[in-house]
Amino acid sequence: MYAQMVKSTGAGVKSREEMSAEEAAFQDRIDADIKIEPKDWMPEGYRKTLIRQIGQHAHSEIVGQLPEGNWITRAPTLERKAILLAKVQDEAGHGLYLYAAAETLGVSRDELTEQLLDGRMKYSSIFNYPTLNWADIGAVGWLVDGAAIMNQVPLQRTSYGPYSRAMIRICKEESFHQRQGYDIMMKMAQGTEAQKKMAQDALNRLWYPSLMMFGPSDKDSVHSAQSMAWKIKMDSNDELRQKFVDQTVPQAEYLGLTVPDENLKWNEEKGGYDFSEPDWDEFFDVLQGNGPCNVDRMEKRNAAWDNGAWVREGLMAHAEKRAVLKTAAE
């Protein structure tokens, strides 16, 4: 999941009796699966929670370009380089779709960017882990994009129209990302001993951070109930995590790789795997800014923003000048 720990209003879900007429009519529409559109009336908490969630999701797409961009110049073949470039370009597009969806709620893209840059807004914890060898690029596509798809497919049905439409576009493109990742993993896992070792090493390091993407366990997830009532969160964290593990373990087996979990075992009764929880202390620590790459990621984003200022301003000045000349000529 690209949006973790999104704070909702904190007031808890209102009962029907506590709702105003407007709030009740709003909830009726949501319950009837009628989409909410930008100009429709909405509770302030719905608007604010959505801005946080969509904004965090958008930031994740943008920051998520960094660990993969890290390997563009060192991709092993020209074809792999072209594919990785296309994937990283897609991520920029995903960020753009999501910022545009957030903007319909009355916040500007620049405001959201500034909130990311000064640390008021977060991005997914997963992008604070490094990509150390080429197999990591395979594992990111396979596991990280795989986990993202798990979360994004149900979000296509979310109650907010612009968010739902952005998710539909994103899901169409995301499947390419996961398959290109698995394709890299197959090549590595079926390659030389050294390549196989790299693939296993990538899985070892990225397995638990991928499980963390779904956010904390349901029992510790304080903001879920309201978001689920508003249909801006469709499944619980634990449900999605279970689904992800059930889908991924056979894929790892096909590769001949070992999931780094001694407790991993098929549970016939529940029809899914039993598995170890990730280290939640580490998760909260990474969110606090203490992951291996937090500082580097934020430095890079800040540098990109600062160093791009003259381009943004220059193009705007040019456009204004041309508009004046055009008016004068008419």
Distances (CA, A) of 288 to 96, 213, 235: 26, 15, 25
- Does residue number 315 form part of the binding site for another protein (CB under 8 A)? yes
CA angle 210, 264, 280 (to 5 degrees): 45
- Of the candidates 218, 313, 324, 325, which one interacts with another protein according to CB under 8 A? 313
Q: Is there a contact between 276 and 183 (Cβ–Cβ < 8 Å)? A: no
Token pair recorded at residue 15: 């009962």
Site string for another protein, 70-89 (x = CB under 8 A): ----------------x--x
3-state secondary structure of 251: helix
Give the nearer residue to another protein in terms of CB position, either 89 or 267. 89
Give the nearer residue to another protein in terms of CB position, either 74 or 322. 322
Q: Which of 114, 57, 53, 122 is nearest to 291 (CA)?
A: 122
Give the nearer residue to another protein in terms of CB position, either 26 or 129. 26
Give the nearer residue to another protein in terms of CB position, either 7 or 322. 322
Separation of CA 214 from chain center: 10
**DSSP code per residue over 117-164:** HTTSS---GGGGS---SHHHHHHIIIIIHHHHHHHHHHHTT-SBHHHH
Q: Which of 140, 284, 155 is nearest to 212 (CA)?
A: 284
Token pair recorded at residue 123: 């991005």
- Does residue number 93 form part of the binding site for another protein (CB under 8 A)? yes
- Of the candidates 96, 186, 228, 249, which one interacts with another protein according to CB under 8 A? 96
Give the nearer residue to another protein in terms of CB position, either 102 or 150. 102
Nearest-approach distance from CB 182 to another protein, in angstroms: 20
Give dist(CA 136, CA 185) in Å, integer. 9
- Of the candidates 22, 106, 318, 325, which one interacts with another protein according to CB under 8 A? 318
The secondary element (H helix, E strand) that includes residue 224 is helix 224-229
Site string for another protein, 293-312 (x = CB under 8 A): ----------------x--x
Nearest-approach distance from CB 157 to another protein, in angstroms: 19
- Does residue number 32 form part of the binding site for another protein (CB under 8 A)? no
Name 265's bridge partners.
274
CA angle 176, 53, 25 (to 5 degrees): 115
Interface of this chain with another protein, residues 172 to 191, rule: CB under 8 A = 173
Nearest-approach distance from CB 16 to another protein, in angstroms: 23
Applying CB under 8 A, the span of 2-10, 38-46, 202-210, 260-268 interacting with another protein comes to 38-46
Nearest-approach distance from CB 108 to another protein, in angstroms: 6
Applying CB under 8 A, the span of 18-26, 183-191, 230-238, 316-324 interacting with another protein comes to 316-324
- Does residue number 22 form part of the binding site for another protein (CB under 8 A)? no
Query: In this structure, what is the dihedral angle of CA atoms 224, 227, 231, 236, given to the nearest 10 degrees?
Result: -10
Count residues contacting another protein (CB under 8 A)?
A: 28
Give dist(CA 290, CA 292) in Å, integer. 7
Token pair recorded at residue 74: 């060192």
Interface of this chain with another protein, residues 206 to 225, rule: CB under 8 A = none
Q: Is there a contact between 178 and 186 (Cβ–Cβ < 8 Å)? A: no
Nearest-approach distance from CB 203 to another protein, in angstroms: 30
- Of the candidates 110, 218, 253, 279, which one interacts with another protein according to CB under 8 A? 110
Residues that bind another protein (CB under 8 A): 37, 39-41, 86, 89-90, 93, 96-97, 100, 103, 108-110, 165-166, 169, 173, 309, 312-313, 315-316, 318-319, 322-323
